[in-house]
Amino acid sequence: MAARIAQTTGAEHTAILGLGVYRPARVVTNDEVAGPINSSDEWIQTRSGIKTRRFASDTETVQSMSVAAARDAMAAAGVAADQVDCVIVATSTHLLLTPAIGPRIATDLDMTGAAAFDISAGCAGFCHAVGMASDLVRAGTSQHVLVIGVEKLTDTIDFTDRSTAFLFADGAGAVIVGPAPEQGIGPTVWGSDGTQHHAIRQSKDWMEFFAEIEERGTDAVRPYLTMEGTAVFRWAAHSLEKVCREAIDRAGLTTDDLDAMIPHQANGRIIEIMARVLKLPESCALANDIEESGNTSAASIPLAMEALLRKGESKPGDAALLIAFGAGLSYAAQVVTMPAWKS
């Protein structure tokens, strides 16, 4: 008779227990980024909804911003380092191919022996990681999971590129996912569309860049983040309603049950379209952190969540729809209850 392999079971219910964020100190206006792209404050606001954004300094790194956000998330959740046994970092801007930044963050937080790894799902990475964390806790693989969305996009931007220079910014957000008396994280609806891989991408791979250095020397142009804004806008406007409705339905709710909607802060016009097609009730708060923070990719959902709580537009326990989409193209959505947060 074949040996039987034992299996674990974990918590029946999970929730986001605590939230912390890190916003870089430097506030950058539209006037500051408009010059190199021959633009204006009015053009940028009309096109994107952005008024300001945050740029990290040389000392504000992917690692340091993550650690700061994580400490606040742990404090808000009332969870100590020795209770966290897994760290998932969603980022596209840790610029080493290996090792991942997750283990260094875990070590800085005194999470000795915790599993720690990075995921790359573009702007949808945080929602991917929340879904994974919930499943890990319910399966008994983990006790508490630290989920971080962090980006230092200013390291990857060509500030003369009219399609990206005014959009992207820096920051970090972190949450603790763990056991809860009632379900606080709905089923994750996720997927990808590789036919649109070209819409948001690195301009060239590293081997192409090295070959260019051999041919052109110091005239070689480094890889930058590039985006086909129109393609992304059309894809998001026409594809995401179904994802949102499925996430709400799988959570056993209707749009009338939502207290807040927190979409990835990609573009103010996309946010408005999504809210309109879903016919959200007037009482439903709509996150619009892009106005002050720009597009921070994997960090945008937790940063926008914190902004709603800080401004009193939402409160812990509220039902919120999270929906994110980005490079890949990848997408993910789930309904969650708003967490405690560190002000």
- Please identify every residue annotated as catalytic: 123, 264, 295
How many C-beta atoms surround the C-beta of residue 45 within 10 A?
Answer: 15
- Which residues contact residue 115 at a Cβ distance below 8 angstroms, ignoring those fewer than 6 apart? 85, 86, 87, 142
Contact 144, 130 (CB under 8 A): no
Single-letter amino acid, residue 338? M
Quickly list DSSP for 64-111.
Answer: HHHHHHHHHHHHHHT--GGG--EEEEE-S----SSS-SHHHHHHHTT-
Q: How far apart are the first and last CA of the chain?
A: 58
Which among 132, 143, 148, 133 has a CA at the least distance from the CA of 69? Answer: 148
Which among 58, 128, 73, 122 has a CA at the least distance from the CA of 93? Answer: 122
